[in-house]
Amino acid sequence: MLCRKNSSCEETGSVPVYLNVYDLTPINGYAYWFGLGVYHSGVQVHGVEYAFGAHEYPTTGIFEAEPKQCDGFTFRKSILIGKTELGPADVRGVMEDLAEEYKGNAYNLITKNCNHFCNDACIRVLLQLCSSGDFKCNQSEASQN
């Protein structure tokens, strides 16, 4: 699930926040045209991409990557989610707060994956611009356009 701001939300931020979408399998090349597929995602802000992945330890599964170059995945596209006034240190603080909730050994393909992380990260990074009631959730954004 991806949350985007609706048009009634005033956009006063100056730093763009992107959702970077990656194909997990080569089959996505065909499934994409039917609105289907399995995707990895990351949030890009201030030239850093933040994502979430699994490992066996009870430490954070959040990691940083070069934007649009997440190892092991094929980059598909970037989606502008909104803009933020948060500085790099504030964004890093948001990620550190999320680190407690997103442990590597808590990763679950269905209930706690990279897409859930991106949804939560976008909401927290953009929250100072809009109240949570101003977000419109769109589950199919990654497979459109």
Q: Which residues are catalytic?
A: 40, 114
Write the DSSP string, 95-107. Answer: HHHHHHH-BGGG-
* List of residues 6+ apart from 6 with CB closer than 8 A: 134, 135, 136
Other Cβ atoms less than 10 A from the Cβ of 131: the count is 8
Closest CA to 114 of 49, 59, 66: 49
Residues in the chain: 145
Helix, strand or coil for residue 92?
Answer: helix
How many CB atoms are located within 10 Å of the residue 55 CB? 13
* φ, ψ (nearest 5 deg) of residue 78: -110, 140
